[in-house]
C-alpha cells in the first residue's frame, strides 16, 4: 500500500495534474488532504487504474478526505504562460480552494513553485513543499489528487467532445493520437486547441498561427 504521509506531524496536501501533454483543453490539478491514519489499498496512480475504478475511487476520496479541491487553467492561458507554469498555477488554484489550510505540500513530479497561502487580502509565508518523482505511485494524497484531476478533466473533455465530435475527444481526451491530429489537419483547430503546441506533430505549427477557429456546427 502507498505511504500515508511525507511530513511528520504536519497537515499535508498532495497535488497532481492531468492534461499536461494534451493538444487541446485545459490542464486540471487537484489538491487533497487525507486523514492522518487514512488507508485505502485500491488507491494508486490514476494511470494504472481502469476508468471505472478511477470514478469509484473519486467518490471514496471525496467522501473520506479532510479537504479536496480542483484547479483549472484554460488553453489560452497555457499558450500565454507555457504548460509548466500553467500546471503549477492549476495546483496553486486548487490549494487556494481547500477548506482546510495545509501546512506542507507534496507534489508529483520534479517541478513546483513555492505556494504562499492566502491570508486576508494578501499572501502568507511559503509552505514547505517536496517534489516526488512518480509520487502518485508512492503517497496516498498524491494518488488521490491524480484521480480527481484525471476524472474531472475527463468529464470536461467529454463535454467538449459533444461540441466537437470530429476530434474523437471522447476517446483521446485531447491527447495527440493519430486520429486527433488527422482531424486537425482536415478540419482546422477549435478555440480549445493549444496554439503554442506542435499540433500536427510535423513541425507545421505555424499552419494555424493566424487561422480562425472552426465552427462546432
Which residue range(s) make up the domain with 75? 12-160
Per-residue model confidence (pLDDT) at position 203:
59
pLDDT band at 207 (very low <50, low <70, confident <90, very high): very low
Clarify whether residues 151 and 177 are in a common domain. no
Which are the contacts of 114, defined by CB distance < 8 A and separation ≥ 6?
A: 126, 127, 129
Q: Are residues 137 and 168 in the same domain?
A: no
Burial (0-12, 13-18, 19+ Cβ within 10 Å), 206: exposed
Higher-pLDDT residue of 209 and 123 is 123
**Residues 47, 126 within the same domain:** yes
Average pLDDT estimate for 28-47: 93
Judge whether 8 and 50 are in contact, CB under 8 Å: no
Looking at the fold, whether 155 and 172 belong to one and the same domain comes out as: no
Shared domain for 146 and 201, answered yes or no, is no
121 lies in the same domain as 173: no
- Tell whether 95 is covered by a domain: yes
Tell me, yes or no, whether 65 and 129 share the same domain.
Answer: yes
Per the CB < 8 A criterion, the answer to whether 107 and 130 are in contact is yes
Domain tally, the chain: 2
Please say if the pLDDT value at position 205 is more than 60. no
What are the tens digits of pLDDT across the range 170-181? 999 999 999 999
Amino acid at each position: 500500500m502507498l505511504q500515508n504521509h511525507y511530513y511528520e506531524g504536519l497537515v499535508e496536501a498532495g497535488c497532481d495534474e492531468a492534461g499536461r501533454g494534451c493538444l487541446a483543453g485545459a490542464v486540471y490539478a487537484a489538491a487533497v488532504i487525507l486523514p492522518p491514519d487514512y488507508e485505502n489499498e485500491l488507491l494508486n496512480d490514476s494511470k494504472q487504474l481502469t476508468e471505472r475504478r478511477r470514478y469509484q475511487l473519486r467518490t471514496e476520496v471525496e467522501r473520506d478526505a479532510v479537504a479536496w479541491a480542483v484547479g483549472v487553467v484554460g488553453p489560452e492561458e497555457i499558450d500565454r504562460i507555457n504548460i509548466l507554469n500553467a500546471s503549477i498555477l492549476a495546483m496553486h488554484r486548487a490549494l487556494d480552494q481547500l477548506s482546510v489550510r495545509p501546512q506542507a505540500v507534496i507534489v508529483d513530479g520534479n517541478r513546483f513553485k513555492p505556494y504562499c497561502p492566502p491570508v486576508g487580502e494578501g499572501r502568507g509565508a511559503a509552505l514547505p513543499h517536496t517534489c516526488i518523482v512518480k509520487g502518485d505511485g508512492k503517497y496516498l494524497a498524491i494518488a488521490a489528487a491524480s484521480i480527481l484531476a484525471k476524472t474531472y478533466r475527463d468529464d470536461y473533455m467529454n463535454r467538449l467532445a459533444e461540441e466537437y465530435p470530429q476530434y474523437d475527444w471522447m476517446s483521446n481526451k485531447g491527447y495527440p493520437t493519430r486520429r486527433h491530429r488527422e482531424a486537425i489537419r482536415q478540419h482546422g483547430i477549435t478555440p480549445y486547441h493549444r496554439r503554442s503546441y506542435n499540433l500536427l506533430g510535423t513541425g507545421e505549427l505555424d499552419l494555424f498561427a493566424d487561422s480562425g477557429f472552426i465552427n462546432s456546427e
